[in-house]
């Protein structure tokens, strides 16, 4: 018991095929776990939260809108965009940053426009109100290619209703019917790893179709987009696992794997030696 030059156990010095096999499995297992942790460390997670606030205070109370809609049976000379809201804005025939593209040999029209709205309830609508002469039977059947608010977000991990009306097809509707799209706009903030914020808006939509009449007869149909803003803001934040946690996990993987592998190898070696002794005892 006083020997300071104690012998190393035989299972740590005597090479065996079992030990070699366990060592190879151990290295493969460590490599697999290391690559998995490395992938998780490099990748970013998206964390979302809700709060009550106006996130884009530098916008001056404005929201950018992008609209792309086709009316295949209404001439471009008749198509116009009107904007009005509860702050008193009433604009008929908005033409800034807009373009009309003839369709169906001039019988139809594709309207593309970018404009701003105030952060108050209101509406904008596509109609013939700005035309110099009103048609007898305007055909308001349409297809909406795009309706979005704020900056465009192209983030794979963020699945939201940023273009909820994209692809809406009303070509089989009553040509003389008006269409009401009631939008609930939700402010959305995306913050990347560098701290840069982008401001966009998601929205939910409900719609109805109707032919309106007054005491003077049928009312001129239009495509209405009536909107209201939600006080709740959705924020998406990019986050990455801290480096110290990555190093701690790697050390735990390497140390734990070698420890468990050593225990398994020692048990197998001990059992093998005991079995050999039993066989020798039987032979003697």
| Residue 168 contacts residue 202 (beta carbons within 8 Å) | no
Task: Give the three-class secondary structure for 14.
Answer: coil
Residue 70 CA to residue 73 CA, distance in Å, equals: 9
Rounded to two decimals, the pTM is 0.73
According to the model, what pLDDT value does residue 125 have? 95
Residue 279 CA to residue 1 CA, distance in Å, equals: 31
pLDDT band for position 238 (cuts 50, 70, 90): confident
The pLDDT tens digits for 17-40 are 777 787 788 888 888 888 888 887
Q: What angle do the packed helices 17-42 and 243-283 form, to 10 degrees?
A: 170
According to the model, what pLDDT value does residue 246 have? 82
**Cα torsion at 62, 63, 64, 68 (round to 10°)?**
-130
pLDDT > 70? residue 3: no
> 5 pairs with which residues across the strands?
none
Residue of higher predicted confidence among 170 and 153 = 170
Residue 68 CA to residue 59 CA, distance in Å, equals: 23
Residue 221 CA to residue 119 CA, distance in Å, equals: 26
Closest CA to 115 of 106, 125, 107: 125
Residue 126 CA to residue 178 CA, distance in Å, equals: 10
């Amino acid at each position: 018991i006083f020997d300071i030059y104690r012998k190393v156990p035989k299972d740590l010095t005597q090479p065996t095929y079992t030990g070699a096999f366990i060592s190879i499995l151990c290295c493969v297992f460590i490599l697999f776990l290391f690559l998995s942790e490395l992938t998780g460390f490099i990748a970013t997670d998206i964390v979302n939260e809700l709060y009550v606030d106006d996130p884009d205070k530098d916008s001056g109370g404005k929201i950018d809108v992008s609209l792309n809609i086709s009316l295949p049976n209404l001439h471009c000379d008749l198509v116009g965009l009107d904007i009005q809201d509860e702050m008193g804005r009433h604009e008929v025939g908005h033409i800034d940053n807009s373009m009309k593209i003839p369709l169906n040999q001039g019988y139809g029209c594709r309207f593309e426009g970018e404009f701003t709205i105030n952060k108050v309830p209101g509406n904008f609508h596509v109609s013939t109100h700005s035309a110099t002469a009103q048609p007898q039977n305007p055909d308001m059947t349409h297809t909406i290619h795009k309706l979005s608010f704020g900056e465009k977000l192209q983030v794979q991990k963020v699945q939201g209703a940023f273009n909820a009306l994209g692809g809406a097809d009303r070509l089989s509707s009553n040509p003389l019917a008006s269409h009401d799209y009631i939008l609930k706009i939700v402010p959305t903030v995306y913050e990347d790893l560098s701290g840069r914020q982008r401001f966009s808006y998601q929205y939910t939509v409900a719609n109805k179709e109707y032919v309106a009449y007054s005491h003077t007869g049928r009312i001129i149909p239009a495509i209405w987009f009536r909107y209201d803003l939600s006080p709740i803001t959705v924020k998406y934040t990019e986050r990455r696992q801290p480096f110290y946690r990555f190093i701690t996990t790697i050390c735990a993987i390497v140390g734990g794997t070698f420890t468990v592998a050593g225990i398994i190898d020692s048990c197998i070696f001990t059992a093998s030696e005991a079995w050999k002794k039993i066989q020798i005892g039987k032979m003697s």
